[in-house]
Amino acid sequence: MTYRVNAAGHMEVGGCDLVQLARDHGTPLYVYDEATVRQRSAEYVAAMGRGGHVLYSAKAFASPHFLRIVAEEGLGLDVVSAGELDLALRSDFPRDRIHFLGNNKSREDVEAAWRAGATIVIDGSHEFDLLRAVVPEGKRTPVMLRISPGVKPDTLDHISTGQLDSKFGFSIESGAARKAVEEALRHPRLDVVGLHSHIGSQIFALGAYQKAMEIMLDLLVELRDELKFEPQKLGAGGGLGIAYTRNDDPPTPRDFVETVRHALESGCAARSLKVPELIVEPGRSIAGPAGVALYTVGSIKDIPGVRRYVAVDGGMGDNIRPKLYGARYEAVLASAPDRAPAGKVTIAGKYCESTDILITDIEMPELKSGDILCVPAAGAYCLAMASNYNGMPRPKVLMVRDGEARVMRRRETLADLVAAEVF
Ligand SMILES: Cc1ncc(COP(=O)(O)O)c(C=O)c1O
């Protein structure tokens, strides 16, 4: 939202010169733009209006200051572990807006969710027993059931979740969804407030959501007619894609919400169903465009006639996505973003794996050791999946706004790396 080229000819975000930030804070460095986080969140909330809730999906990226901003914009939160929940509670995230998802929840997960008063989204049958054991007799806890509508969206197989062959949720096609609702309604400790679905991530073609909604509403008709059950809430999941490269042209959060809402309202009207409250839970489309990664160029290796490798001081430890999903990124020279390209290079990381390549064959201007490279759209599922592989500390993270940079997470130290070791 706030990107521009400043008077020095450098990239600037949130009023902060990215080259200067790299000098002051070191690299690898992740920088989040507060204005973008707020704008994307507010666009979701405004598009939903009344009769719906937006949950931010903490798995995309979570840090206390980031979560406070999301909460201030009026969003709730989707967490998938006792760890994510603990971070949210320590960040004073409003408990009544938290949903606890995830397949194969442990007893500790369910206990933590119950203690926090979160809405639990049941993903598999074993949770019925866990909930019987955790929730005290005479009490009930609000739950939703994760349903797998059997829709395969236009995304990478690795991140599509709504089809029959998926580890997530109760499948409609196999009859498991209907059985799970029956069991949940009979369960003495559960208050079934809704059904939930999530069909995948990095989705551009919104038709998949319309299809999933139709299938969910057909299930609702069956549940109303045969079980007299009408859910108060219906979750359509997250999954809206973002632009990682100049060629990507994703729908906006407003397009996404309007498509899903229209499918819900017209589908309910056609089936004479009461319109449930709609819940969406975006992660990537809020955090992703708000964050950039900064790296310093180190060694440059030329293999004449084959390839030029430009190595940076991060890589698969802070961004596994290129190797995990074949995800594509771009990189920009932060000190001269408009300089003309001088040829193709491959941006390599510094991890001891030959697959540790951030970007293969990208046109870049002439680069030298010490240059700062900026990788845009690095705000989601990079730091969230970061590791200490090769004994590398995880990066420092900033939030910028109006020329001020606030440290959201300090750089890990060598002492952090051995904190859990027993010497
Ligand atoms: C159940 C569920 N909800 C929401 C999300 C967030 O998806 P995205 O970050 O693509 O919006 C995910 C992530 O895959 C998910 O598994």
Do 188 and 300 fall into the same domain? no
Judgement on whether residues 234 and 135 belong to the same structural domain of the protein: yes
> What separation in Å is there between the alpha carbon of 315 and the centre of ligand 1?
24
Which tokens go with 54? Answer: 């937006």
Boundaries of domain holding 59 = 49-284
CA-based nearest residue to 260, from 242, 274, 243, 276: 276
Task: Tell me how far the alpha carbon of residue 338 lies from the centroid of ligand 1, in angstroms.
Answer: 34
* Nearest atom of ligand 1 to the alpha carbon of 121: 1
Please write the tens of the pLDDT for every residue from 39-71: 999 999 999 988 899 999 999 999 999 999 999
Domain edge (last residue) among 225, 254, 284: 284
In a domain, 279, yes or no: yes
Q: Are residues 332 and 252 in the same domain?
A: no
243 and 330 fall within a common domain: no
Domain count, the chain: 2
3-state SS class at 365: coil
How far apart are the CA of 423 and the centre of ligand 1, in A? 39
Say if 41 falls within a structural domain: no
> Which atom of ligand 1 lies nearest, measured to the CA of 159?
14
61 and 24 fall within a common domain: no
* 331 lies in some domain: yes
255 lies in the same domain as 157: yes
Among 269, 284, 299, which residue terminates a domain?
Answer: 284
Instruction: Tokens 């070791």: give the residue.
Output: 421
Tell me the best of 41, 59, 158 to mutate to test the pocket of ligand 1, counting ligand atoms within 8 Å of each CB and taking the most. Answer: 59
Instruction: Write down which residue in 284, 319, 351 finishes a domain.
Output: 284
**Residue whose CA is closest, atom 12 of ligand 1?**
238
Q: Which two tokens stand for residue 140?
A: 């009930």
Give the CA distances from residue 178 to residues 3, 183, 198, 235, in Å, rounded to whole numbers and listed in that order.
49, 9, 17, 17
> Which residue do the tokens 């991060």 mark?
314
Do 240 and 352 have their domain in common?
Answer: no
Question: Are 342 and 228 members of one domain?
Answer: no
What residue's CA is closest to ligand 1, atom 13?
201
**CB crowding 38-60: b at 16 or more within 10 Å, else e:** bbbbebbbebbeeebbbbbbbbb
With respect to residue 99, please indicate whether it lies within any of the assigned structural domains: yes
Residues with CB under 6 A from ligand 1: 57, 59-60, 78, 101, 198, 201, 237-240, 281-285
Nearest alpha carbon, ligand 1 atom 14: 201
In one-letter notation, the amino acid at residue 272 is S
Active site residues: 352
Tell me how far the alpha carbon of residue 152 lies from the centroid of ligand 1, in angstroms: 15
Whether 20 and 118 share a structural domain: no
Q: What CATH number did the domain enclosing 390 receive?
A: 2.40.37.10
- What pLDDT is recorded for position 36? 98
Q: Are strands 277-280 and 52-57 parallel, antiparallel or unpaired?
A: parallel
CATH of the domain at 66: 3.20.20.10
Å from CA of 334 to ligand 1 middle: 31
Nearest CA to ligand 1 atom 16: 198
Question: Mean pLDDT per segment of 10 residues, for the chain of length 423 residues?
Answer: 98 98 98 98 95 96 98 98 98 97 96 98 97 97 96 67 76 94 97 96 95 97 97 98 96 98 98 98 98 98 96 98 94 98 98 96 98 98 98 98 98 98 97
CA–CA distance, 153 with 209 (Å, rounded to integer): 8
Strands 357-364 and 343-348: antiparallel
In a domain, 225, yes or no: yes
Q: Within this chain, do residues 86 and 229 fall inside the same structural domain, yes or no?
A: yes
Q: Is 199 a domain residue? A: yes
Inter-CA distances, 391 with 143, 155, 168, 273, 316, Å:
41, 33, 33, 56, 12
- Both 223 and 326 in a single domain? no
CA distances in angstroms from 261 to 9, 112, 227, 233, listed in the order given: 43, 32, 25, 13
pTM score, whole prediction: 0.96
Q: Per 3-state DSSP, what percentage of the chain is helix, strand, and coil (rounded to 5)?
A: 35, 25, 40
- Does residue 68 fall inside a structural domain? yes
Whether 324 and 268 share a structural domain: no
Is 40 among the domain residues?
Answer: no
